[in-house]
Amino acid sequence: MDFTYTETQDMVRDTLARFLADTYDFDTRQKFIDSETGRDPAIWTALAQELGMLGAAFGEEHGGLGGGALENAIVMEEMGKVIAIEPYVPTVVIAGGALKTVGGAQADAMIPEIIMGNAIIAFAYAEPQGRYDLANLRTTAKKDGSGYVLSGHKSVVYAAPWATHLLVTARTGGGQREAEGVSLFLIDANLPGIVRRDYPTVDGNRASEIYFENVAIPGDALLGGEGAGLALVEQIVDEATVATCAEATGVMQKLHEGTLEYTQQRKQFGVPIAKFQVLQHRMVDMFMEVEQARSMTIMGTLKLDLPADERKAAVSACKAKVSRGAKFVGQNAIQTHGGIGITQELAIGHYFKRATMIEGQFGSADYHMDRFERLTLAD
Amino acid sequence: MDMEFSPEDLAFQKEVRDFIAENYPAELRGKQDEGEELSKEDFLAWHKVLYEKGWVAPAWPVEYGGTGWTPTQRFIFSEETARADCIRLLPFGLSMVGPVIYTFGTPEQKAYFLPRILSGEDWWCQGYSEPGAGSDLASLRTTAVRDGDDYIVNGQKTWTTLAQHADWGFFLVRTDKEAKAQEGISFLLIDMKSPGITVRPIITLGGEHEVNEVWLEDVRVPVSQRVHEENKGWTCAKFLLAHERTGIAGVAASKRGVEKVKAIARTEVDGDKPLLANPFFKRKVAELEVDLTALEFTELRSLAGPNAGKGPGPESSLLKIKGSEIQQRLTELTLEAVGHYGAPYFRGFGEGDNEHPIGPDYAHRAAPTYFNVRKTTIYGGSNEIQRNIIAKMVLGL
């Protein structure tokens, strides 16, 4: 047993941490979030081309560093510490993960584009009626000559306003909630018939409603087998879930550290409020949640390669624990700060907002507890 | 012991219900349904309807404009207004400074201010908290120095709710720097248009402009605008804090909130069923209802108990703690219910493409409201302070 990181992994973390310390201080982040496009594209380019960071989790044959899920977790934990809005999860973890699994010409064509920072890929999977069920799809892709025609509505697609490509789940067959008939397509984001409504999100990102209005897509947009895509979708969403838990760990760590710092400065009744035992115990509870989130994220990451059911149970355990921890740490960070915690001025409130959105992303605690139960507690 | 309303109470309930149905401003209803932010005029629209009916200040003594209702009638009234989803009247004049003035004020102060509070002519704000004086309110540092018939006031207040609209503010100021913290404080009524007052917005996590910083720089305040004796302002402050906590349980509003969450969870789909059929979600709604019932009957006991009518005691801290926690759980459940559509942020962002909507209307304010309502366990004496009060005053520790 060995929980130490390799030298390369340490280097990835240190390099990224240093870069983000220089480029992603809170005020700078707020500035580009409030700008017209909501981001600073130079950061993504620098992550790719100066740091080689977007290749950390790809194989050397595509120009990457040869890493995988652990590298994704390292990157996302550091991103969480600065509440970065960079589209690493949809582009590298989700789309990159699908391409690595599928391999072949599609991987050879797209992975280098991701690594170089030329491609930003948004993941259009959620639908208004579907909640967290990945198979609950009304979007359809109908065979048309050598290609398909895509129709439907995708909800809250993070990073879509910036995307060059969309990774889309759609039905090529089967009923609305059936496992059979789910297909995965990687398409150009600007095809005729794609209607996008862009908006900011409460956690400082940008997202879109995407309406596919009879969009003609080529046959080679299909990733994996037609109608047999659900297993692949579940796998990449599990990978994304764990990466998001890593992000949560970074967010929670900062919420906890910020609270410790504030309570030692803030004086009421003549003493720093950190002297009050009721607040000390609360901060100890927060600390324990941060440590457990880190433990569960490592557990989930290490089990991503297990057979599907074991992987799913591990990821669900991880996300259920982290969702609850994120809520606990976020709410208590705000409560302990008092009024100043609910203003836009302090970073702490923005960490809280991101923590709150992470709670539900890729499935709420209830959803994952339910999936965990079904996989591990069969009658 | 019984818990039934008398025939008179039932008749009163019907009277209130009918009055609301006929007189609640339709425009206001529309804005509430759309989740729009309310303007000063909106806040006052319902106030004025109630004022004309004589129902704007049920808690006040009859001689000052109260209704003379029994505690049960007051309970029915607040229940019915919440049931009909009427907006809450702003407390700063009606529930805060009004009772302080009729309890401690001079005849001149009562004659001038009370009718203007009732009519809504004056909008009030509360100058209590300071950047360094939150939970430890008595450590406040804003000073008032006598100069002839005036005080000269200097300092900074914060978290001043809706001060951007205020005509008047009631302020706690230090009039004796040598005295022990709580003994050198006075209670001043200050015209917010006085030279030297600057109001600056504080934007909160949901993007709202509700609270402000108020800076006071050599503001002249006539001594005649001090309520109660000099250096006795803490008496008013304590009286007011206890008053602020009554009704803070928010039982009726939370009942309405539970119904709204249920309605959302009946509309939201989970698999092939409504979300409300999901056993995990359903259980959380049920637990909330059970806790709300416990809160309701605790409040009813205190309304009908031996201290009824004598003003709130330390037990009001219990109502504040449990009431605020329930309000927060309601917003948590709402955010959870709307799923992915908790994320879109609508402030300063035009809707208007009905063919391509961004989620259901009820989802639009779910996250901002969740963020905003974190304040309820912080304001009005944080829940930590309320627990200290119970420990000391109720348990005698």
Q: Which chain A residues are Cβ-neighbours of B386 within 8 angstroms?
A: none
The one-letter amino acid at B122: D
DSSP letter, residue A343: B
Q: Which residues have C-beta within 8 Å of that of residue B160, sequence separation ≥ 6?
A: B125, B126, B127, B129, B166, B169, B199, B211, B212, B213, B214
Task: Give the span between the Cα atoms of B49 and B19, in whole angstroms.
Answer: 10
Tell me which residues of chain A, numbers 186 to 225, contact chain B at a CB-CB cutoff of 8 Å: 195, 197, 199-203, 205, 207, 209, 211
Question: Residue B199's beta-bridge partner residues?
Answer: B214
**Paired tokens of B259:** 């119904």
- For chain B, say whether A265 makes contact (Cβ under 8 Å): no
Condensed to tens digits (0 to 9), the pLDDT of residues B33-51 reads: 766 778 889 999 999 999 9
Active-site residues of B: which are they?
244
Residue A6, min C-alpha distance to chain B (Å): 37
Same domain, A133 and A67: no
**Paired tokens of A271:** 């003493």
Residue A253 placed within a domain:
yes
> A270, exposed or middle or buried, with CB in 10 Å at 0-12, 13-18, 19+?
exposed
At A141, which CATH number? 2.40.110.10
B147 HSE (CA, 13 A, CB side): 10
Residue A21 placed within a domain:
yes
Percent of chain B with pLDDT over 90: 71
Q: Which chain B residues are Cβ-neighbours of A338 within 8 angstroms?
A: 134-135, 378, 382
State whether B371 and A343 contact (CB < 8 Å): no
Same domain, A111 and A201: no
Contact A289, A309 (CB under 8 A): no
Tell whether the model's pLDDT for residue B350 goes beyond 60. Answer: no
Residue A1 placed within a domain:
no
Condensed to tens digits (0 to 9), the pLDDT of residues A274-314 reads: 999 999 999 999 999 999 999 999 999 999 999 999 999 99
Classified by CATH at the fold level, domain B122-232 comes out as Butyryl-CoA Dehydrogenase, subunit A; domain 2 (2.40.110)
| pLDDT value of residue B314 | 74
Query: What is the pLDDT confidence band of residue B301, given thresholds at 50, 70 and 90?
Result: confident
**Paired tokens of A207:** 């997202």
Residue A118, min C-alpha distance to chain B (Å): 27
Number of domains making up chain A? 3
Partner-chain residue, chosen from B158, B207, B374, that has the shortest CB–CB distance to A334: B374
Residue B358, min C-alpha distance to chain A (Å): 6
Tell whether the model's pLDDT for residue B29 goes beyond 90. Answer: no
With left for phi above 0 and alpha for psi between -120 and 50, is residue B133 left, alpha or beta? beta
| pLDDT value of residue B247 | 67
Contact A282, B384 (CB under 8 A): no
With left for phi above 0 and alpha for psi between -120 and 50, is residue A40 left, alpha or beta? beta
Tell whether the model's pLDDT for residue B53 goes beyond 80. Answer: yes
The rounded Cα A115 to chain-centroid distance in angstroms is 18
Last residue of a domain, one of A210, A228, A246: A228
Same domain, A26 and A138: no
Partner-chain residue, chosen from A200, A331, A341, that has the shortest CB–CB distance to B345: A200
Is the entire prediction scored with pTM above 0.90?
Answer: yes
Residue A208, min C-alpha distance to chain B (Å): 9
Q: Which chain B residues are Cβ-neighbours of A343 within 8 angstroms?
A: 202-205
Same domain, A143 and A45: no
DSSP letter, residue A271: E
Task: Give the span between the Cα atoms of A191 and A215, in whole angstroms.
Answer: 7
Task: Give the span between the Cα atoms of A161 and A194, in whole angstroms.
Answer: 12
The one-letter amino acid at A204: G
The one-letter amino acid at B194: S
Same domain, A365 and A237: yes
Task: Give the span between the Cα atoms of B5 and B305, in whole angstroms.
Answer: 16
| Number of CB atoms found within 10 A of residue A347's CB | 18
Same domain, A235 and A345: yes
Last residue of a domain, one of A119, A143, A168: A119
Q: Say how many CB pairs under 8 Å bridge A and B.
A: 136
A168 HSE (CA, 13 A, CB side): 33
What averages of pLDDT result for each successive group of 10 residues across chain A (379 residues)?
91 97 96 95 98 96 95 98 98 98 97 98 97 97 97 98 98 96 98 96 97 97 96 98 98 98 96 97 98 98 97 98 98 97 95 98 97 91
CA angle, residues A371, A374, A376, in degrees to nearest 5 = 105
Contact A198, A208 (CB under 8 A): yes
Q: Which residues have C-beta within 8 Å of that of residue A379, sequence separation ≥ 6?
A: none
| Number of CB atoms found within 10 A of residue A188's CB | 14
> B148, exposed or middle or buried, with CB in 10 Å at 0-12, 13-18, 19+?
exposed
Q: Which chain B residues are Cβ-neighbours of A356 within 8 angstroms?
A: 335, 367, 370-371
Hey, where are the domains in chain B? 7-89, 122-232, 246-394
Same domain, A193 and A110: no
State whether B377 and A335 contact (CB < 8 Å): yes
The question of ipTM being above 0.85 is answered as yes
Which residue range forms the structural domain that includes residue A244? 231-376
Residue A360 placed within a domain:
yes
Secondary structure in 3-state letters for chain B: CCCCCCHHHHHHHHHHHHHHHHHCCHHHHHHHHHCCCCCHHHHHHHHHHHHHHCCCCCCCCHHHCCCCCCHHHHHHHHHHHHHCCCCCCCHHHHHHHHHHHHHHCCHHHHHHHHHHHHHCCCCEEEECCECCECCCHHHCCCEEEEECCEEEEEEEECCCCCHHHCCEEEEEEECCCCCCHHHHEEEEEEECCCCCEEEEEEEECCCCEEEEEEEEEEEEEEHHHEECCCCCHHHHHHHHHHHHHCCCCCHHHHHHHHHHHHHHHHHCEECCEEHHHCHHHHHHHHHHHHHHHHHHHHHHHHHHCCCCCCCCCCCHHHHHHHHHHHHHHHHHHHHHHHHHHHCECCCCCCCCCCCCCCCCHHHCCHHHHHHHHHHHHCCCCCHHHHHHHHHHHHCCC
Return the residue in B135, B208, B276, B340 with the most chain A beta carbons within 10 A, the one to mutate for interface testing. Answer: B340
Placement of tokens 């129902």 in the chain: B55
Among residues B118, B96, B69, the alpha carbon closest in space to that of B238 is found at B96
From the candidate CATH numbers 1.10.540.10, 1.20.120.530, 1.10.287.130, 1.10.10.10, the one assigned to the domain spanning B7-89: 1.10.540.10
Same domain, A184 and A202: yes
Same domain, A186 and A205: yes
The one-letter amino acid at A42: A
Task: Give the span between the Cα atoms of A22 and A51, in whole angstroms.
Answer: 13
Residue A101, min C-alpha distance to chain B (Å): 27
Tell whether the model's pLDDT for residue B382 goes beyond 70. Answer: yes
From the candidate CATH numbers 3.90.550.10, 1.20.140.10, 1.10.420.10, 3.40.50.300, the one assigned to the domain spanning B246-394: 1.20.140.10
| pLDDT value of residue B181 | 79
Contact B387, B321 (CB under 8 A): yes
Percent of chain B with pLDDT over 70: 93
Tell whether the model's pLDDT for residue B356 goes beyond 70. Answer: yes
Q: Which chain B residues are Cβ-neighbours of A370 within 8 angstroms?
A: 280
Q: Which chain A residues are Cβ-neighbours of B133 within 8 angstroms?
A: 268
